[in-house]
Amino acid sequence: MGDSSEPEVMDSQNNDEGDDCLLTQKDSQFSQLLNCRSVEEEELEKKKYAALHPMDRGLNQIALYTEFFGFGRRPDYTHFCDFHELASGEGMRLLSSVSSKHCYIRRDFLEGRTYLHDTSRFGTFVNEALIGKGNCCMLQSGDLISVGHPKFFVFMYVEGCTKGKDYPPSLTERYFVSNYLIGEGAMGKVFLGKRRADTSVSVAVKVIAKKGLSITSQNSSESGLGSSTELIRREVDIMLSIKHVNCVQLEYVCESAKMAYIVMEYIEGGELFSRIIDERNMGKGLGEQLTKFYAWQMLSAVKFLHKRNIVHRDIKPENVLLLKRDVYTVLKLSDFGLSKAGEKTMETFCGTQCYMAPELWVDEPRYRCEVDIWALGAVLFTSISGYPPFANDYKDMPLREQIAKGRLVYYSVWKNISTRAQRLIRKMLRVDVLQRVVAAEAMRDVWFDDPIVEKAKEMVHSYAQIHAIPLANVDCEQ
């Protein structure tokens, strides 16, 4: 037995050595495979001329390195993006407007240019501009591509060698900034951007020139508003102090020698103004119920600001934004460039004339937070009826006199508006500042005793919880 045990031990040792040898071979093969893959990836990275960054959560980032790249519903291309991945949410609703071969990207490697070809009757768009079936468009780094609908963004085209040549590294290291212009205000242009760390999150990037900033027709320092740098700092300071569901939230701030950049949450639903004048409303505005849904949210924001001695000073439909494109959605007050905090009475002349309170029209204006209530009353009037309470178009009386007298023009659309709504708006548009209703009182008005307001409260409450906004700042229990 003793003799026979040695070969068994030796066999066992030999087997171990064989296994070790086999494992070593496998490790070597695996390492070679990894190295090959690494080399391939490096080669592809060298060939990559651009990337497509997703604008929808159902899509993934795409590296572009081939001459052709197609898009559609199961498109017949060697390299392609299948939009069936969008079969959820808004993507599902728009999938019927996406062709099997919707569009394709072509790279001209000799010229170093990229073209997007539209092959669908449903439409392919770059920065909301239609290309048109059979046509093509040269892409620039930062362009937004949408399909089926101008605002259904699917990808941002970003060239590999570009990190935003006109933007400081402190901005481009954190964000992609597109060429798509969201809006333009008193203090600069606003572009759509994306977080680099999470490209599913969109942001709005306000680009402000420190010099040449003009708030009124007069020089800003002469008008009492301060220097351009002070104006930028004022907006940033105010936005940093605001944490309310119905106010646009600040995310990041940086600057260069000549420019300042304010990164805010992106509000994709557009301006209240655009909804009021939408041709589907046939010039009759949003009506009473929808206006009430929005009015409660606007008053909640204004009440919050006034409680902190912040006066917006430029409330108008263009500065009221809607979070989503849905009819009933969270509302956001924006553009705090003319706002001022900490002073009970102010003496500068600013704001948009049609929404400016009577006390702003005197030679030496001294005013308080009541100017926001007046402006908000004018916004509600416009939203309900489809036309403004005061305008230069009313030729029987100059605009300044219309406002000074509080003269309101009622057309036939008001026959369908409740007495309660008309009474509250008149309270907000009282010429006598002492008689004008304040935000907290307006929110307690019987006009808001309505299920539609409960719907607004529920939506605001839900948004506050998701975005960690203190419920104490929200009037959901009002």
Going by C-alpha positions, the residue among 279, 292, 281 that lies closest to residue 328 is: 292
Give the position of tokens 């066992």: 12
Going by C-alpha positions, the residue among 313, 201, 342, 174 that lies closest to residue 265 is: 201
- Residue 184 has what pLDDT? 80
Tokens linked to 319: 């500065």
CATH architecture observed for domain 50-159: Sandwich (2.60)
Give the position of tokens 């006034």: 306
Domain with CATH 1.10.510.10 in the chain: 272-473
- Residue 472 has what pLDDT? 73
255-269 tens-digit pLDDT: 888 888 999 999 989
Give the position of tokens 């305008």: 391
- Residue 222 has what pLDDT? 40
Tokens linked to 475: 């009037």
Per-residue confidence of the chain (478 residues) as pLDDT tens digits?
Answer: 444 443 343 444 445 555 555 556 656 665 655 555 554 555 556 678 999 998 877 788 899 999 999 999 877 788 989 887 665 555 566 677 889 899 999 999 888 999 999 999 999 999 999 999 999 999 999 999 999 999 888 999 998 754 445 789 999 999 999 999 988 866 788 999 999 888 778 899 999 888 755 433 333 444 444 556 776 777 677 778 789 999 999 899 998 888 889 999 999 899 999 999 999 999 899 999 999 999 999 999 999 999 988 999 889 999 999 999 899 999 999 877 545 555 554 444 444 789 999 998 886 667 789 999 999 999 999 999 999 999 998 999 999 999 999 999 999 999 999 999 999 999 999 999 999 999 999 999 999 999 999 999 999 999 999 988 887 777 765 4
- The answer to whether 314 is a known catalytic residue is yes
DSSP 59: -
Number of other residues whose CB lies within 10 A of the CB of residue 170:
14
pTM of the model as a whole? 0.73
End-to-end CA distance of the chain: 94
Domain with CATH 2.60.200.20 in the chain: 50-159
DSSP, residue by residue, 404-450: HHT-----GGGGGS-HHHHHHHHHHT-SSGGGSPPHHHHHTSGGG-S
Q: What does CATH list as the number for 272-473?
A: 1.10.510.10
Tell me whether residue 16 is exposed, middle or buried, using C-beta atoms within 10 angstroms of its C-beta: 0 to 12, 13 to 18, 19 or more.
Answer: exposed
Half-sphere exposure of residue 198: CA atoms within 13 angstroms, side-chain side: 5
Q: Which of 56, 143, 314, 335 is catalytic?
A: 314
Q: Please indicate if the annotation marks 405 as binding a ligand.
A: no
DSSP 248: P
Give the span between the Cα atoms of 13 and 24, in whole angstroms: 16
Give the span between the Cα atoms of 374 and 353, in whole angstroms: 12
Domain with CATH 3.30.200.20 in the chain: 169-265
CATH superfamily of 169-265: Phosphorylase Kinase; domain 1 (3.30.200.20)
